[in-house]
Structure 1
Amino acid sequence: MKPFVGVKEALSVVKLLDLIKEFASENSYYFWRCHHQVSGIKEEAPKNDDFPMLEGQMFNHQFELRWKQKNKNSYEVLLLTIIDNYDTFQPISKDWRIEPQDNSKFPSNAYPAYGYRRDETRFPKEFTYPKTLDIRLGKDNKKQPKLAQRYFIDAETSAVQFVALTVEVH
């Protein structure tokens, strides 16, 4: 497992949607922000009708893909992955490590993460996400992926540069 962090610039909505389809897997989740709302964490990918959006992300056990609106018609994309190099992305740095590294304690190389409680008041509306991701619920069903986070650390400076959303798989 070799972590990789890379970027792509100036993707159109059509090319971004194609990239999202290319990276989609069974346990992929999505989140995006628009001027007027946030999507909550969804199991369905965004569609052309959901654009324009300010930013969004897609994540599963192997990677997190983030996009941000650069101008009216294009998006910048960041890829955080634990599975080596992607030739179509420009690497940010060549030497990364991830935390946690203790596979006996955290076999998926990800720390458990807690989603917001459904009654959290910092959002004007209920923040939604699939109940199956909540590590406080569903402990009886260990086969379901759970929300987690992974730290991408620049090996040269030992500074945490990115915290990626992921899912912990058992």
Structure 2
Amino acid sequence: MNKGFVYVRSGLSRDEVKELLDKLATEESYYFVRSPHAVSGICMNLPQEFPGFEGQMFNADRELRWKKQGSAYQALLLSRVEADLEGFEPIGENWEWCDRTAYFHPLDEPKFPKTFVYKGRKNENIVSNNISIGQRYFQEKRTATVHFVALTVRS
């Protein structure tokens, strides 16, 4: 197991969420935005639906989740590297993480979500089998309880 870091921040504006994404995103980041009526799919560029009701950005080091609460947003950062971000408070200090494989259904299989999309850097459709995405489990060390499962980009 590896040492992990979990942080939270409340009261963010739309622009502050966008600034966080600009700061934390890498060339190999993916985005997923949810609204009550639709999802963006997994995209390599920030979707037009941003910020939606909630969403996430993930790369090899971290996943940033945001969710609307009233007129502001709350953010959760799940990271394998320590972060020094203004306004973020650590949740506990005994986190460990481990990576696992994630599996995607091919688009031609009749399973939910059949019309789910995967978009590349130029907004082109990409095949889900070509995406190197995995899952990262964040476990509290003392109790061995998994509290969060984050998406991650696998190398």
TM-score of Structure 1 vs Structure 2, range by shorter chain: 0.7 to 0.9
Aligned to 1:94: 93
Q: Structure 2 CA distance, aligned partners of 1:159 and 1:55?
A: 25
Gaps of 5+ in 1: 100-109, 138-144
What's the CA shift for 1:120? 4.0
Q: Give TM-score, length-normalised by structure 1.
A: 0.78
Q: Does 1:146 align with 2:144?
A: no
Is the contact between residue 30 and residue 57 of structure 1 (CA under 8 Å) also seen in structure 2? yes
Aligned to 1:26: 27
Q: Structure 2 CA distance, aligned partners of 1:128 and 1:61?
A: 21
Q: Structure 2 CA distance, aligned partners of 1:25 and 1:51?
A: 18
Aligned to 1:43: 44
When structure 1 is superposed on structure 2, of 79-88 and 155-164 the one drifting more is 79-88
What's the CA shift for 1:126? 0.8
Q: Does 1:163 align with 2:149?
A: yes
Q: Does 1:112 align with 2:101?
A: yes
Q: Structure 2 CA distance, aligned partners of 1:13 and 1:19?
A: 10
Q: Give TM-score, length-normalised by structure 2.
A: 0.85
Instruction: Describe the shift of the 1:133–1:2 C-alpha distance in structure 2 as closer, same or farther (beyond 3 A).
Output: farther
Gaps of 5+ in 2: 120-125
Instruction: Describe the shift of the 1:132–1:117 C-alpha distance in structure 2 as closer, same or farther (beyond 3 A).
Output: closer
Q: Structure 1 CA distance, aligned partners of 2:128 and 2:115?
A: 16
What's the CA shift for 1:115? 1.7
What secondary structure, in the 3-state scheme, does the structure 1 residue paired with 2:15 have?
Answer: helix
What secondary structure, in the 3-state scheme, does the structure 2 residue paired with 1:80 have?
Answer: strand
Q: Does 1:55 align with 2:54?
A: yes
How big is the alpha-carbon RMSD for the aligned residues of Structure 1 and Structure 2?
1.9
Instruction: Describe the shift of the 1:11–1:164 C-alpha distance in structure 2 as closer, same or farther (beyond 3 A).
Output: same
Give the structure with the larger strand fraction: 2
Q: Does 1:126 align with 2:147?
A: no
Once the two structures are superposed, the pairs formed by residues 56-75 of structure 1 within 5 Å of their partners are 56-71=55-70, 73-75=71-73
What's the CA shift for 1:53? 1.5
What's the CA shift for 1:36? 1.6
Q: Structure 2 CA distance, aligned partners of 1:129 and 1:11?
A: 28
Is the contact between residue 112 and residue 146 of structure 1 (CA under 8 Å) also seen in structure 2? no
State the identity as a percent. 40
Is the contact between residue 33 and residue 53 of structure 1 (CA under 8 Å) also seen in structure 2? yes
Q: Deviations over 1:83-120 (max 9, x none)?
A: 02435311111111112xxxxxxxxxx22211232134
Q: How many residues of Structure 1 are paired with residues of Structure 2 in the alignment? A: 146
Q: Structure 2 CA distance, aligned partners of 1:17 and 1:87?
A: 14
What's the CA shift for 1:122? 2.2
